[in-house]
Amino acid sequence: MKKKLATVLSLILLVSFVFTGCSGNKASSGNGSNDSSVIKIGVLEPMTGANAAGGALEVEGIKLANKLYPTVLGKKVELVIVDNKSDKVESASAASRLVENEKVSAIIGSWGSSLSMAAGDVVKNAQVPAVAATATNPLVTQGNDYYFRVCFIDPFQGKVMANYAYNKLKAKKVAIIQEVSNDYSVGLAKFFTDAFKELTGDENAIVAVSNYNTGDQDFTAQLTNIKAKNPDVIFAPGNFTESALIIKQARQLGIKAPFIGGDTWETPEFIDIGKEAVEGATFSTFFTSEKPITKESEKFLAEYKKEYGDKEPSAAAALGYDAYILILDAIKKAGSPDPVKIRDELAKTKDFPGAAGVITLDENRNAIKDAVIKEVKGGKFTYLNVVGAN
Amino acid sequence: MSLGTFLQHLANGISLGSLYALVAIGYTMVYGILRLINFAHGDIFMMGTYFAFYGIAVFTLPWYLSFLLAIVLTGILGMMLEAGAYRPLRDAPKISILISAIGASFLLENLAVVIFGGRPKAFPTPRVLTDVVHIGSISIQNLTFVIPVVTIGLLIALLYLVHNTKAGMAMRAVAKDYETAAIMGVNVNKVISLTFCIGSMLAAVGGIMWGLKFPQIIPLLGVMPGLKAFIAAVIGGIGDIKGAVIGGFVLGIGEIMLVAFLPELTGYRDAFAFVLLILILLFRPTGILGEKIAEKV
């Protein structure tokens, strides 16, 4: 009896191992790592955990680009997708796996600045270039010649939202609720604060700064404190997961001030979970399907529709797509899958037409781009405004 | 801080504390009878939440029916877990069962990732429960009234079951000495199975309430509540059902007040719970309502 049970249990365990094993490495065909007939591009994304929805959006765009442009230098491009589980430590080891075991030529990712920064030293030491699609914290590329990105950075995004709060929402007093364990959130809150204080000329324009941790679910204490300060606007840079709950709980506590935030909000889950509470929430992001900027944008929009039906393409998908075609272009120019040569070509990127706009990288390997402001309206992300980079 | 703000904090604390209490009852009950810390309790809790979610979202059952079905299914899952992971080890050293519990916990989490997917899902919230009442400057969700009532109601029902029924008497007998109880004709397997069933059903009720209050569910949803409920159970005196409720309220209100009065320590909110655990273990190891160890010797 006991033996039988033990057998059954070990079988269950085995099956679950096989399952998780498969889902982690779907794109890898499992043949030897030095196969010269393919060029491998690593995709480092959170597929499970708190940021999984964001990672999934980027992967959507990357897979679409891979489908449209499957070869380079006469060789097949193979995507090696690894899951960093929304965890910083896991992100570093997943990146090591990509460069050491899979011998990838370049890496795309990760969603989230913290997760990207965790992989920073790995790609730098291995001399394999990485292109982040939506990681916006300046520290991702700072002092790391091997990290690039196809999106703008937070000092710009913070300024855009400060301007929006001051000019459009006529805010004089703002409260901030930030995710202290997330570099993206803390950075964006700081850049917003600096810009907003400068605009109002008032040192006390930020009436409250509340903190929370990644994965928290109860924010009523922080929000009750904020309510007592009676701000005009609440700036809540942070992941969609917690942000949707924050806004929901704020409305339940009777807080009426509008919520504004950053690019991470743009996932279907944000609206799903927030429902009517997130109506009117505004945030800055990278891209809108309502204003195709380049030829590549039109192609992306048309192909996206074919592939994913009537789903609205998100900025993360468009930027994931851009990261892929930018790397492919660099491989073509380098004429070899050698990571160092690819890096040198990436560094020269100028006026490259991507789906989310024209990409020019500055000396710190950051893209200079316009920001788009979107609002949640009628259960959808709607385009409000474009703010220039200069 | 104005009185209104303070009362709002208190309401928030009671609301969170009653949730911890609800999960802690199941924890402490299994411990009380088997002297086993069921580390998979948090994951059973997560499974219950997902069952309720699928009942409504996929099978479009009315919410009350779906909740009921989820509670029953979770009870069955708990019995299966006991039969698969704990019963074969019942005569093994205690540490083996503890390790098996941790293994079961990881198994459930990873199965959930495979089956339900890693992306968060929105838990459906019936309006009756989530609407907000305003009393003066205080805003209180209907749930804030519902959860403590459910918690206290279940507590009373459970105390009645344990102290006034035949099954409860058998449970207490097994808790005292299960070998002797078996000799005296108590069907130990049945009693333990029932304990796990009830414990898991309580976890499901907790999970559903949690889902209603924080309508976003992921496969790792049970980890933190599981730990917090464990701490609550220890604070109250693990094994004591009334103690678990008191511990839950102490922990919930304590956490909210920490964030409310010392906002700069918000980042240490979870650490607060663990520090409290250490202090309790150092100065009052049997918890607030715990039995005196001397009696057992």
> How confident is the model at residue B294, as a pLDDT?
47
Task: Let me know: does B253 contact B295? Beta carbons within 8 Å.
Answer: no
pLDDT, tens only, A75-100: 999 999 999 998 999 999 999 999 99
CB contact under 8 A, B113 and A12: no
CB contact under 8 A, B122 and A241: no
What the block records as the tokens of A281 is 């929430």
Q: Measure CB to CB from residue A221 to each of B83, B84, B256 and give the nearest one.
A: B256
Residue A246 in contact with partner chain B when CB distance is under 8 A: no
Q: In what order do the strands lie in the sheet with A75-83?
A: A71-72, A75-83, A38-45, A106-109, A130-132, A147-149
pLDDT, tens only, B2-49: 888 899 999 999 999 999 999 999 889 988 888 888 889 999 999 999
- Which DSSP symbol is given to B112? H
CB contact under 8 A, A53 and B120: yes
- Which DSSP symbol is given to B103? H
- Give the CATH class of A155-285: alpha beta
- Looking at 1.10.3470, 3.10.350, 3.30.450, 1.10.357, the CATH number of the domain B7-126+140-281 comes to 1.10.3470
> How confident is the model at residue A5, as a pLDDT?
60
Is A119's pLDDT higher than 70? Answer: yes
> How confident is the model at residue A81, as a pLDDT?
95
Is A23's pLDDT higher than 50? Answer: no
Q: Which residue in chain B is spatially nearest to A19 when comparing CA positions?
A: B114
> How confident is the model at residue A13, as a pLDDT?
54
pTM, two decimal places? 0.84
CB contact under 8 A, A9 and B15: no
Q: Which residue in chain B is spatially nearest to A208 when comparing CA positions?
A: B263
Residue A244 in contact with partner chain B when CB distance is under 8 A: yes
pLDDT, tens only, A275-294: 889 999 999 998 888 888 88
CA–CA separation, B19 vs A199, rounded Å? 44
Q: How confident is the model at residue A21 (pLDDT cuts 50, 70, 90)?
A: very low
User: A353: closest CA among A383, A385, A329?
Assistant: A329
CB contact under 8 A, A273 and B141: no
Three-class secondary structure assignment of chain A: CHHHHHHHHHHHHHHHHHHHHHHHCCCCCCCCCCCCCEEEEEEEECCCCCCHHHHHHHHHHHHHHHHHCCEECCEEEEEEEEECCCCHHHHHHHHHHHHHHCCCCEEEECCCHHHHHHHHHHHHHHCCCEEECCCCCHHHCCCCCCEEECCCCHHHHHHHHHHHHHHHCCCCCEEEEEECCCHHHHHHHHHHHHHHHHHHCCCCCEEEEEEECCCCCCCHHHHHHHHHHCCCEEECCCCHHHHHHHHHHHHHCCCCCCEEECHHHCCHHHHHHHHHHHCCCEEEECCCCCCCCCHHHHHHHHHHHHHHCCCCCCHHHHHHHHHHHHHHHHHHHHCCCCHHHHHHHHHCCCCEEECCEEECECCCCCECCCEEEEEEECCEEEEEEEECCC
Is B191's pLDDT higher than 50? Answer: yes
Domain range annotation of chain B: 7-126+140-281
**In a mutagenesis test of the A interface, which of B266, B268, B270 is the best target, namely the one with the most A β-carbons within 10 Å?**
B266
Is A194's pLDDT higher than 50? Answer: yes
CB contact under 8 A, A269 and B9: no
Please tell us whether the domain made up of A38-152+290-369 is placed in CATH 3.40.50.740.
no
CB contact under 8 A, A6 and B88: yes
Task: Let me know: does A83 contact A45? Beta carbons within 8 Å.
Answer: yes
CB contact under 8 A, A252 and B141: yes
Is B257's pLDDT higher than 90? Answer: yes
CB contact under 8 A, A48 and B224: no
Q: Measure CB to CB from residue B2 to each of A49, A211, A228 and give the nearest one.
A: A228
> How confident is the model at residue B296, as a pLDDT?
42
Residues of B in contact with A14 (CB under 8 A): none
Query: What ipTM does this complex have?
Result: 0.88
**In a mutagenesis test of the A interface, which of B8, B115, B133, B210 is the best target, namely the one with the most A β-carbons within 10 Å?**
B8
> How confident is the model at residue A10, as a pLDDT?
61
> How confident is the model at residue A29, as a pLDDT?
42
CB contact under 8 A, A5 and B132: no
CB contact under 8 A, B122 and A273: yes
Domain range annotation of chain A: 38-152+290-369, 155-285
Residues of A in contact with B8 (CB under 8 A): 220, 224, 227, 253
Q: How far is A168 from chain B (nearest CA, A)?
A: 29
Residue A19 in contact with partner chain B when CB distance is under 8 A: yes
**In a mutagenesis test of the B interface, which of A209, A218, A241 is the best target, namely the one with the most B β-carbons within 10 Å?**
A218
Is A32's pLDDT higher than 60? Answer: no
CB contact under 8 A, A218 and B216: no
CB contact under 8 A, B118 and A48: yes
> How confident is the model at residue B291, as a pLDDT?
62
Q: Measure CB to CB from residue B114 to each of A20, A181, A241 and give the nearest one.
A: A20
Q: How far is A276 from chain B (nearest CA, A)?
A: 12
**In a mutagenesis test of the B interface, which of A3, A13, A15, A252 is the best target, namely the one with the most B β-carbons within 10 Å?**
A252
Residues of B in contact with A244 (CB under 8 A): 216
Q: How confident is the model at residue A8 (pLDDT cuts 50, 70, 90)?
A: low
Residues of A in contact with B248 (CB under 8 A): none
CB contact under 8 A, A181 and B9: no
